[in-house]
């Protein structure tokens, strides 16, 4: 359990100290945020704020994980390395998108096909590799079975799993990307979700089928649950440190570099911990905001009318007169409730076997 404490604290310190150094570097290079003209007017004052801040917590997470392994003398696991690969890989796609925005002064960044191709390559490589690397119990980091709080009894096969995992990764990374846009909103919501996955990893480790079966017959067949908790803790600590500088008024934005990475990390943790469908609740705020965009686009295309003043949903409330801080805090409360319900469902699943 010391690994979880080490990874979280190292990630927090590195991100807290490293982010201001990144702010100075990005500001010196003139890598500032481009603001949409059709967005809320209050956002126009943010123009030029350094972006690509996701670099800070991605590097802090990677260093925290490997430093923890070096300190404790433990060996990195396939599950932990795959989640980190997915995080860093999608972060790289986001970095290219951000770089084009700030250097080329093109608001849309990467072309849609290029961005989709990048996400597809990283997501598909992760999904294929996650079915490899079996341990001595025959468990791979991911399973061909769908899962809620643990695997269902039926398998969908490797091909359908890879397709499902790809869409899950794309949906989650784009969901966090849509949530990003208000100071600290996506960062704070992600901290809560990573906290939940830290708990889930520890619980699955202590209730592993390798050496424990409860009175109800419940246990967890997960390849590396403790290491998933180490990764989640590193992510949580790194995001906490970044939030110090990202909260209102933000000194730096995470950009697509950060939002795609965080979404990928959440999807990877869900897949490897066998809680794929539970992520809908643990990432409830991301799902709600994504649905608001789907509803807005669908309504406009079918009826020519908009349901919200602006999508994603957070901007709708800004245009209704809510202050940015008010929107962020209330949306954090919603995410906190979603995480609480999600953990409740996870524990109920354990109790009922």
Annotated binding site for Mg(2+): 177, 256
Binding-site residues sit at 177, 256
Q: What are phi and psi of 45, to 5 degrees?
A: -70, -15
Rounding to the nearest 10 degrees, give the CA dihedral for residues 126, 132, 133, 137.
130
Which helix (DSSP H) or strand (DSSP E) does residue 102 occupy? helix 78-104
What is the SS3 assignment for 210?
coil
Is-cis flag, bond preceding 348, omega within 30? no
219-244 b/e with 16+ CB inside 10 Å = b?
bbbbbbbbbbbbbbbbbbbbbbbbbe
Strand partners, 182: 180
What is the spatial distance between Cα 93 and Cα 244, in angstroms, rounded to a whole number?
25
First to last CA, the chain: 25
For residue 71, how many other CB atoms are within 10 A of its CB?
13
């Amino acid at each position: 359990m010391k690994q979880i404490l080490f990874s979280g604290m190292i990630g927090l310190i590195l991100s807290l100290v490293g982010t201001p150094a990144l702010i100075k570097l990005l500001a010196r290079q003139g890598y500032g945020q481009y603001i949409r003209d059709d967005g809320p007017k209050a956002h126009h004052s943010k123009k030029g704020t350094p972006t690509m801040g996701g670099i800070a917590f991605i590097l802090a997470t990677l260093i925290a994980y490997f430093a923890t392994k070096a300190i404790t003398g433990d060996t990195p696991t396939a599950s932990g390395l795959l989640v980190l690969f997915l995080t860093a890989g999608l972060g790289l796609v986001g970095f290219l998108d951000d770089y084009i925005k700030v250097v080329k002064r093109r608001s849309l960044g990467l072309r849609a096909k290029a961005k989709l191709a990048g996400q597809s390559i990283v997501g598909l490589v992760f999904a294929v590799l996650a079915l490899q690397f079996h341990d001595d119990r025959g468990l791979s980091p991911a399973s061909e079975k769908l899962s809620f709080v643990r695997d269902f009894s039926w398998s969908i096969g490797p091909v359908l799993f890879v397709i499902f995992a790809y869409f899950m990764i794309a949906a989650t990374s784009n969901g966090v990307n849509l949530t990003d846009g208000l100071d600290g909103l996506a960062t704070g919501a992600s901290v809560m979700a990573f906290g939940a996955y830290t708990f889930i990893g520890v619980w699955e480790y202590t209730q592993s089928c390798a050496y424990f079966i409860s009175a109800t017959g419940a246990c967890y067949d997960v390849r590396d649950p403790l290491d998933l908790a180490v990764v989640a803790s590193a992510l949580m600590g790194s995001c906490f440190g970044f939030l110090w500088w990202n909260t209102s008024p933000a000194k730096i934005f995470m950009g697509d570099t950060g939002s795609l990475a965080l979404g990928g990390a959440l999807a990877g943790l869900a897949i490897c911990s066998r809680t794929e469908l539970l992520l809908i609740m643990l990432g409830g705020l991301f799902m709600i905001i994504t649905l608001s965009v789907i509803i807005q686009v669908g309504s406009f295309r079918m009826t020519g009318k908009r349901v919200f003043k602006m999508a994603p949903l957070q901007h709708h409330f800004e245009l209704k007169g809510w202050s940015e801080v008010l929107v962020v805090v209330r949306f954090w409360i919603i995410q906190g409730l979603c995480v609480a319900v999600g953990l409740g469902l996870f524990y109920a699943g354990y109790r009922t076997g």
